[in-house]
Amino acid sequence: MGEEIAISLKNISKCFKCYTHPVDRLKEIFLPARSRANEFWALRDINLEIPKGETVGIVGKNGSGKSTLLQIIAGILTPTTGDVTVNGRVSALLELGSGFNPEFTGRQNVFFNGRLLGLSQKEIEDRFEAIASFADIGDFIDQPVKTYSSGMFVRLAFAVAVNVDPEILIVDEALAVGDIVFQHRCMRRMRSLMDSGVTTLFVSHDSGAVKTLCNSAVMIHEGKIYFSGVPNAVIINYMKLVTET
């Protein structure tokens, strides 16, 4: 029997409609025969299979479609065309503070996010001290999240993401916000999860981290898979593209 597949993407494309004027969106609802939108295809015909336990780095220039791809895998966005199959509990650290209610305290957000990820109240209670210790934001854990700095946001968000027993972990550039000590702590924790068999998707502009952490890598360019393979080869091709454009 072949490898178990954690993530399967078949012919995935994603189109966003862009309107020149907000009222054009309303007009299109009432007069659907006439489109008033400009189409922007963020992804085109993405085919990718990721075996369970694999750590995959995803690289590409800003606007290449990386974040859109991760949001589709995480179930936040629906593809315009194609099929997505994800086998396992997904914990995603995407846009800074995404999923946090700014009016809730850090503690309340921990419990809220834990329930969204499928944990019971008891399971979150059992993990709370580990989450709070990892985040290391002191008494701010009981302050509204809207009072947090960007660094505190990412500390708490990452602490939740890695302490809910994920089977698939998605990290999108968020670690660039934290201080160097916290970044090293995150890297050690990610390495521990990878060694335990957690499938990981890691988006970063840090080529060294991609080469160090990942088994394979994929380069996205203009919404398509431009190159894939071992991390070093992908990074070389990525650097060539960046320096030539």
Residue 71 sits in a domain of what CATH number? 3.40.50.300
Query: How confident is the model over 175-179, as a mean pLDDT?
Result: 64
Residue 210 lies in a domain: yes
98 three-class SS: coil
Residue 175 lies in a domain: yes
CA–CA–CA angle 113, 42, 46 (5° rounding) = 85
Which pLDDT score, from 0 to 100, does residue 93 have?
Answer: 79
Q: What b-and-e string marks burial along 229-241, b requiring 16 or more CB atoms within 10 Å of the CB?
A: eebeebbebbeeb
Residue 147 lies in a domain: no
Query: How confident is the model over 65-84, as a mean pLDDT?
Result: 93
Query: How confident is the model over 12-25, as a mean pLDDT?
Result: 80
DSSP 97: T
Q: Write down the mean pLDDT value for the chain.
A: 87
Query: What CA–CA distance (Å, rounded) separates 101 from 20?
Result: 31
Q: How confident is residue 91, by pLDDT bands cut at 50, 70 and 90?
A: confident
84 three-class SS: strand
Query: How confident is the model over 41-52, as a mean pLDDT?
Result: 96
Higher per-residue confidence, 190 vs 29 = 190
Query: What CA–CA distance (Å, rounded) separates 170 from 112?
Result: 19
Residue 161 lies in a domain: no
Q: How confident is residue 24, by pLDDT bands cut at 50, 70 and 90?
A: low
Q: How confident is residue 31, by pLDDT bands cut at 50, 70 and 90?
A: low
Strand partners, 17: 39
Do residues 200 and 56 make contact, with C-beta atoms less than 8 angstroms apart?
A: yes
Which pLDDT score, from 0 to 100, does residue 179 have?
Answer: 72
How many structural domains compose the chain? 1
Query: What CA–CA distance (Å, rounded) separates 93 from 172?
Result: 6
Residue 222, pLDDT > 60, answer yes
Query: What CA–CA distance (Å, rounded) separates 76 from 74?
Result: 6
Q: How confident is residue 1, by pLDDT bands cut at 50, 70 and 90?
A: very low
Residue 205 lies in a domain: yes
Q: How confident is residue 116, by pLDDT bands cut at 50, 70 and 90?
A: confident
Least confident of 9-18, 50-59, 87-96, 227-236: 87-96
Structure tokens at 97: 């503070």
- Residue among 162, 149, 173, 72 nearest 113 (CA): 162
In sequence order, what are the residues at sequence separation of 6 or more whose Cβ sits closer than 8 angstroms to the Cβ of residue 200? Answer: 54, 55, 56, 168, 169, 170, 171, 190, 193, 194, 213
Higher per-residue confidence, 179 vs 233 = 233
Residue 105 lies in a domain: no
Percent of the chain residues past pLDDT 70, beyond the cut: 88
Residue 97 lies in a domain: no
Residue 102 lies in a domain: no
Higher per-residue confidence, 169 vs 92 = 169
- What's the domain range around 11? 5-88+167-244
Query: How confident is the model over 190-203, as a mean pLDDT?
Result: 90
E-assigned strand segments in the chain: 5-19, 37-51, 55-59, 81-86, 90-93, 168-172, 199-203, 216-221, 224-229
